[in-house]
Structure 1
Amino acid sequence: MSADVEALICELRRQHPQHGARRIAHELDRRSPGSAPSRATVHRVLSCNGLIRRQEQRHPRKYRRWQREAPMHLWQLDLVGGVPLADGRSCKLVTGIDDHSRFVVIASVVAVPSGRAVCSASSPAAWNSTFVFGAPTTIASTSPAPAEDSTAQKPSPNSTH
């Protein structure tokens, strides 16, 4: 960009302190259509020449921490799917992480996402992790309940408990 255009940007800002980069770019485009610098270029020129002061955001972002305060308070279990196999089927991954440290405490593979298969895959891993790290205060799952296991015996409607 030429020094003349930079000087013109600074001059427009001094004449109209309320105009921002967008308005100054618009005014330059009206004066010479097609050859005006972009809004970002105008902003950079104004910043480099000390003609813009940093402003507070109108709606400052408020971040909320979604993790527990200490390790072993919560393990999050999840059933992740869609890992394709060579024979055309797909398998599911059973994962468990500590919510605070993000340490993977459980990682198992199941071919069929039934309740029995998920429990069978995660139980030894959970037992080993509990033996090494201790038991968590809470275990939560974000996945919906897996498909019902067709091999499990269902109670008859006439039975009483």
Structure 2
Amino acid sequence: MRAPQDTSTLRFNLQKLALPPAIGAQALGGAVDLVVMPCRPQPDIDQEWASMAGITPGDDVALIQAIQSALAGGMITTPICLGHAFELGQALPAQKYARLGTALVRQIGVTRAHQLTDAQLRASGHGTADDFAEYWASAVPDIPAATNPWCWLIRFELKG
């Protein structure tokens, strides 16, 4: 028989994620089901490790594939686990927040900002790479898009 769990230390707060108003509206309509968010802190890739793995400096495709394999193998900790829920909202003027609903994590990936595909840009509510760069500059000013930052790709299902 298991001892009763001490519930005084359990946290039942959902993580919150706020989208810009236009993207939040698209999420409510079902057109957006992907969030692109920065990896924090940005990883520092050990060049010696990369060389031992057969990745030449500047080969972003091979590096991304190696990192994605490490993620799939459970060697990288994600900001939220598959199947977990988070509160999806939208940022409104005057630093207000409006709740859109509860979202469930369906898939988690990782890539770099310059390697986002057209499909990923559309699924996250950005029509073009330029639209995404403009969004990134306002949402994540401390990590310039020009540095080709690492990003989490969180595919979700909005439950309402």
TM-score of the superposed pair, with normalisation by structure 1 = 0.28
Counting strand residues as a fraction of each chain, which structure ranks higher? 2
Higher relative contact order (CA 8 A, sep 6+): 2
